[in-house]
Amino acid sequence: MANKYVPTKILLEESELPKAWYNMNAVMPEKHDPALNPATLKPCTVDELKGPFCDELAAQEMNMTDEYIPIPDEIKDFYKMVRPSPLIRAHFLEKVLDTPAEIYYKFEGNNTSGSHKLNSAIAQAYYAKKQGLTSLTTETGAGQWGTALSMACAFLGLDLTVYMVKVSAQQKPFRKSVMETYGAKVIPSPSYTTEVGKRILAANPTTGGSLGCAVSEALETAMKTPNCKYVLGSVLDHVILHQSIIGLETKTALEKYGIEPDLLISCIGGGSNFGGFIAPFIKDKINGTAKYDILAVEPPSCPSLTRGKYAYDFGDTGKMTPLLKMYTLGNGFTPSANHAGGLRYHGMNPIVSKLYHDGYISVNSVEQTKVFDAAVMFAKSEGILPAPESSHTIRAVVDQALKCKETGEKKKIVFCLTGTGYFDLKAYEQYNNKTMTDYIPTDEDLAKGFATIPDIPQNK
């Protein structure tokens, strides 16, 4: 295998498309603490989760036993249009860096949603449709998830209402246009369409909104609309489950060409791409047989893992969601508006949180001006304009490759390029005009967020 010729762009056959998703919960040596019903502080039952969520998604969320969960044919047929996605050798980035490292990236941006979000969007819309629902609600921050779900709902004939963080809707008017072209109703959040939105606006009429606040509005609207459920694009375990297709394809491609990775890297916001990317690699890591390290990358402006607390917290500002045990900055935390990309969520997926807590993965944080230095270097050498979120990963990869240059190590670095930056050009303009700045919250800033973490016995 060692001398097999490896093409620049490793493409899998349609027959190599995964037939089942990978469920990390089934192989965790110690399961993460269960979601709690905030009213009772007891573990949520599947039936309780079926309140806001689709039946099948609630069941997937609670599945702690099945390592593989079959992908329905209808979803596979959709995947076949856009997947398998390529694993690309970054020959030209390596050359620019003059590094002995080998760099590979799994490129998830080659679809109109511009990111990996479509992998879960189509699955969630499919289960909603199968259950006989006629509409869905969701929130979106950077806009990738909202676009992906709009596409999936248009494909399956479901109505969709998207609460889009107001500041993001203003900065990215065309994200709104794409979703509307796909037939979605897009409402800048906070809005006067919900009670929680009205409360937030009464308290702070000029707020630009936050993801936690948009979640609350979407949830409230789903609860009061007949035949409608709430879905979301990150944080929960079933989202990570669907995103495991990224890691499964990556693993197949690497094994096909006998490439043994030394390091797997991806950025982390709520955990959706990171969790999916590392999913099939985690078992060997847990068993101690893996030769590779796994690195998550986050922005210092929203440092959930690097500076957050491991505690039960709400997923939203309106305190309507189940309580999740996770690394959190507090449901009231809002990152500085000068932070360009996504990765703005206060919390973190429970599996990823547990893996970090138990030492299976490590985390770095990288500042946004340095992130954009790397983004432009990548765009020029590899031809793809990366999303700001993905560019955090690229920065970390570049730093690792430069370290290899110093040490002479021929590390094989594999990363997930989650998406493209075509709707993030305001941020690139700031970078080009040198008006982009970095922001690191002080301990006092963080203390305000931590104060919103619920004061419950489980957090003592």
Residues that bind a copy of itself (CB under 8 A): 7-9, 11, 13-15, 77-78, 80-82, 88, 91-92, 110-112, 114, 118, 151, 154-155, 174, 177-178, 180-183, 376, 379-385, 420, 422-423, 425, 428-429, 431-432
Shortest Cβ 236–a copy of itself spacing (Å) = 24
CB closer to a copy of itself, 295 vs 375: 375
Sequence-ordered strand ranges (E) for 350-434: 362-365, 412-417
Backbone φ and ψ of 54, nearest 5°: -65, 150
Residue the block writes with tokens 């002080």: 442
Residue the block writes with tokens 């500085």: 336
Contact 103, 261 (CB under 8 A): no
CB closer to a copy of itself, 118 vs 323: 118
Q: Which of 76, 123, 382, 311 is nearest to 231 (CA)?
A: 123
CB closer to a copy of itself, 12 vs 248: 12
Shortest Cβ 124–a copy of itself spacing (Å) = 16
Shortest Cβ 336–a copy of itself spacing (Å) = 22
Give the amino acid at 146: G
Count of residues making up the chain? 460
Collapse the DSSP code of 115 into the 3-class scheme (helix H, G, I; strand E, B; otherwise coil) and give the result.
strand
CB closer to a copy of itself, 112 vs 407: 112
Count of other CB atoms within 10 angstroms of residue 402: 13
Structure tokens at 93: 């980035």
CB closer to a copy of itself, 286 vs 425: 425
Shortest Cβ 176–a copy of itself spacing (Å) = 9
Collapse the DSSP code of 263 into the 3-class scheme (helix H, G, I; strand E, B; otherwise coil) and give the result.
strand
CB closer to a copy of itself, 154 vs 286: 154
Distance CA 104, CA 261 (A): 9
Shortest Cβ 61–a copy of itself spacing (Å) = 26
Shortest Cβ 132–a copy of itself spacing (Å) = 21
Give the amino acid at 29: P
- Listed in sequence order, the DSSP H helices in 182-281 are 195-203, 211-224, 237-256, 272-278
User: How buried is 173 (Cβ within 10 angstroms: 0-12 exposed, 13-18 middle, 19+ buried)?
Assistant: exposed
CB closer to a copy of itself, 23 vs 111: 111
